[in-house]
Chains A and B, each alone.
Chain A
């Protein structure tokens, strides 16, 4: 998703936020959103404001996605549907905390996750088991070393 798309989404969210109490007027949707939401056009006015907001944001995001991004989103949605309400609540809570982090920390966490996903499932399980065997102090030292490694490039380390 490039900066232009992000700005468009942010502008949409900002306008949506101001209309949260009164919902989202169908006429305020852009052409692409209306195209995505066309099956709901007749019943749009009867939807509650929060649902209108989520649908309008979802439609905007969908319209800006590439085919590959859409495929990934569908796959993640399929996984999301399999989660229990409790799992979803926990994920939402962690996600909100993540959103509060500085962009650099978010970038680091995403990169760590991406690297972890690239290794084999067996290796991942072995790493998890090894990590769980560490004491809390050992875990914290590991995290500190990892943070330090991110701050100082390898070439400058001792």
Chain B
């Protein structure tokens, strides 16, 4: 393979890796959000304030009140 093609391929690879790296770097607001939690930020959806709160994807983020799901279990017994 000609040296020029190798150089071009290497340059393209380096550029693509740089682009991927840039895409992976989160912005300041997001990093502050990640660092603002005492533990994992995965837990906060359990405590969303208002029942029925919906986001743009129509996914509910509010949790079940403690004990609520057991009515499901009662139906199946």
Q: Give the interface of A toward B (CB within 8 A).
A: 1, 36-40, 51, 53-62, 72-74, 76-80, 82-83, 86-87, 90-91, 94-96, 98-99, 109-110, 112-113, 115-116, 119, 121, 123-124, 127-128, 130-131, 139, 142-143, 145-146, 149
Of B33, B47, B50, B56, the residue contacting A94 (CB under 8 A) is B47
Of A37, A57, A95, the residue contacting B44 (CB under 8 A) is A95
A91/B47 in contact, CB under 8 A: yes
Question: Interface size class for chain B?
Answer: 35 or more
Of B31, B38, B50, the residue contacting A58 (CB under 8 A) is B31
B42 at the interface (CB under 8 A from A): yes
How far apart sit A38 and B28, CA to CA, in the bound complex (Å)? 11
B32/A51 in contact, CB under 8 A: yes
B19 at the interface (CB under 8 A from A): no
Within residues 36 to 67 of chain B, which ones have a CB less than 8 A from any CB in chain A? Answer: 36-51, 53, 55-56, 59-61, 63-67
Of A51, A58, A110, the residue contacting B30 (CB under 8 A) is A58
Contacts of B68 in A (CB 8 A): 116, 127-128, 131, 142
Contacts of B63 in A (CB 8 A): 113, 116
B35/A59 in contact, CB under 8 A: yes
Of B38, B53, B59, B61, the residue contacting A95 (CB under 8 A) is B38
